[in-house]
């Protein structure tokens, strides 16, 4: 059955436009409540990031769950991976996250975690959709749900994060800058890193409801890079608005992306005798990472773009590490979902164990130049089925041989065709990308 409301990562959109409206979230809370009530007695956790609309949607979901006869436990601002952890350890029916991750403040969304702290099974989302298209009812007054606020949620998650690295490691003397993107980690990440012994400089820790991800965080690490240089820090950590992405900056102010971070963690796990299964990347994972892992004797398996698909591949191939170059990193040997704080701690552990700087650790992997061209299209086109485009792709692939890669795909969220070319020579890659982009423009009549 095709899902009407749920995408690959919950429901997301612009606040005030369907389906991200107060009345829809009320109905969604009720629909979720009906589904979870049928699974037996229990409560549902509700957490959010720092967007101003979170207050409205938290109240709407709570009212809907209450009407369905389900108890609610409110967490307040909490990173997405923290909500996943608490859902599992508090044995809740489910966890509900109100967040639009790295998007601007005027967007918002809702996603769910199962009692195992993983994404909700498709079957339960389909059941919710059936209720969403049904008239809303209210249980009799004696059976209405109740709501309570959990006051020690932040402390529980802080301790969990600290426990993801060995206590033998001493991070004293390490100076780090943390950019919390004015998001859900603002009151958590600085405590985690200072409590493991590091000297912490914090930026992006003054959320006002509308400055989340605004010129800061994992999607805009330039401010972090400047701050690292200004404070002569050992490294910088940039999280996104809901705390599930990580981009880092080395002591020279150079940005270290998700591919490089995954490689560092993989090598560290291998040296510790803890590596298991392949690393899972996506279609966008840099070819340099694939070649670097191959030299270590580690296979790379590629999934479709999206953390949901990375997780599916990890489970299928019994892997423990995967993610995306955008900084979504899943360490399944430490937690159940992508977690920026925990991933950063693994990098710090690798630095301590090797005695190397982040700059030295990332230099073990040579990233290939990668050019991405986005072409707006008014009509739907499948690049795989266009003869002219495919002819041009094969010509470029022949020139690149095994030292490069071509990827053309239609965006799943925007009216765009994405043309990506990577190889060893920057100028050649740029030229090939422009050639292919021109072929796409011809095909769509632009």
The answer to whether the beta carbons of residues 97 and 48 sit under 8 Å apart is yes
List, as one string, the DSSP characters of 163-208: TTS-TT---TT-EEEEE-TTSTTTTTHHHHHHHTT-EEEEES----
The answer to whether the beta carbons of residues 45 and 86 sit under 8 Å apart is yes
Which position among 99, 101, 114, 268 bears the catalytic label?
A: 101
Residues 20-71 have pLDDT tens digits of 999 999 999 999 999 999 888 899 999 999 999 999 999 999 999 999 999 9
The DSSP secondary-structure symbol of 368 reads P
Element (H, E) at 43: strand 43-48
Residues 405-428 have pLDDT tens digits of 999 988 766 678 889 999 999 999
CA dist 274 and 65 (Å) reads 42
- The sheet with strand 405-410 has its strands ordered as 370-376, 416-422, 405-410
Q: What is the pLDDT of residue 443?
A: 83
Domains of the chain with bracketed CATH: 11-150 (3.40.120.10), 172-256 (3.40.120.10), 273-339+357-367 (3.40.120.10), 370-444 (3.30.310.50)
Within 10 angstroms of residue 71's Cβ, the number of other Cβ atoms is 18
For tokens 């800061």, the residue is 216
Residues linked to residue 256 through DSSP beta bridges, in sequence order: 248
Residue 376: strand, helix, or coil: strand
Q: What value does the mean pLDDT of the chain take?
A: 94
The structure's pTM equals 0.93
Residue 77: strand, helix, or coil: strand
Closest CA to 184 of 86, 335, 48: 48
Residues 207-220 have pLDDT tens digits of 999 999 999 999 99
Report CA-CA distances (Å) from 59 to 54, 64, 187.
Answer: 8, 9, 22
Closest CA to 54 of 183, 180, 209, 181: 209
Within 10 angstroms of residue 121's Cβ, the number of other Cβ atoms is 12
With b meaning 16 or more CB within 10 Å and e meaning fewer, what string describes 136-156?
beebeeeeebebeebeebbee
* ∠ CA 160-93-240, rounded to 5°: 45
With b meaning 16 or more CB within 10 Å and e meaning fewer, what string describes 376-387?
ebeeebebeebe
**200 half-sphere exposure, CB direction, 13 A CA radius:** 22
Q: Is 134 among the catalytic positions?
A: no
Sign (positive or negative) of CA dihedral 356, 357, 363, 364: positive
Q: Which residues have C-beta within 8 Å of that of residue 445, sequence separation ≥ 6?
A: none
Residues 344-387 have pLDDT tens digits of 999 999 999 999 999 999 999 999 999 999 998 876 677 888 88
The fraction of the chain above a pLDDT of 90, given in percent, is 86
Q: What average pLDDT does this structure show over 172-189?
A: 97
The answer to whether the beta carbons of residues 67 and 37 sit under 8 Å apart is no
């Amino acid at each position: 059955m095709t899902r009407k409301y749920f995408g690959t990562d919950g429901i997301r959109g612009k606040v005030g436009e369907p389906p991200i409206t107060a009345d829809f979230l009320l109905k969604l809370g009720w629909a979720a409540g009906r589904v979870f009530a049928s699974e037996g007695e229990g409560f549902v956790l509700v957490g959010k990031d720092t967007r101003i609309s979170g207050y409205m949607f938290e109240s709407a979901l709570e009212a809907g769950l209450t009407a369905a006869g389900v108890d609610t436990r409110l967490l307040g601002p909490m990173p997405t991976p923290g909500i996943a952890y608490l859902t599992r350890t508090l044995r809740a029916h489910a966890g509900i996250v109100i967040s639009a991750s790295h998007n601007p403040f005027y967007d918002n969304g809702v996603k769910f975690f199962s009692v195992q702290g993983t994404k909700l099974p498709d079957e339960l989302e389909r059941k919710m959709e059936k209720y969403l298209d049904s008239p809303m009812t209210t249980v009799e007054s004696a059976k209405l749900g109740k709501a309570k606020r959990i006051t020690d949620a932040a402390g529980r998650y802080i301790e969990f994060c600290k426990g993801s690295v060995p206590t033998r490691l001493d991070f004293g003397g390490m100076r780090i800058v943390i950019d919390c993107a004015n998001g859900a980690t603002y009151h958590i990440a600085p405590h985690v890193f200072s409590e493991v012994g590091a000297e912490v400089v914090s930026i992006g820790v003054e959320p006002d409801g509308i400055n989340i991800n605004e010129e800061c965080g994992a999607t805009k690490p330039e401010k972090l890079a400047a701050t690292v240089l200004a404070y002569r820090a050992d490294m910088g950590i940039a999280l996104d608005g809901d705390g599930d992405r990580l981009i880092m900056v080395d002591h020279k102010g150079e940005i270290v992306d998700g591919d490089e971070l995954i490689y560092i963690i993989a090598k560290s796990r291998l040296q510790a005798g803890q590596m298991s299964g392949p690393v899972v990347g996506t279609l966008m994972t840099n070819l340099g990472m694939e070649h670097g892992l191959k030299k270590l004797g580690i296979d790379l398996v590629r999934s479709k773009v999206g953390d949901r698909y990375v997780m599916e591949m990890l489970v299928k191939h019994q892997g423990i590490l995967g993610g995306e170059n955008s900084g979504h990193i899943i360490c399944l040997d430490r937690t159940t979902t992508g977690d920026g704080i925990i991933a950063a701690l693994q990098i710090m552990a690798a630095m301590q164990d090797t005695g190397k700087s982040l700059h030295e650790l990332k230099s073990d992997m040579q990233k290939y130049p990668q050019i991405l061209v986005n072409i707006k299209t008014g009509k739907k086109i499948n690049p795989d089925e266009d003869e002219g485009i495919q002819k041009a792709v094969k010509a470029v692939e022949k020139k690149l041989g095994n030292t490069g890669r071509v990827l053309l795909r239609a965006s799943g969220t925007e009216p765009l065709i994405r043309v990506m070319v990577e190889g060893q020579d920057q100028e050649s890659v740029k030229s090939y990308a422009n050639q292919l982009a021109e072929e796409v423009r011809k095909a769509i009549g632009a």
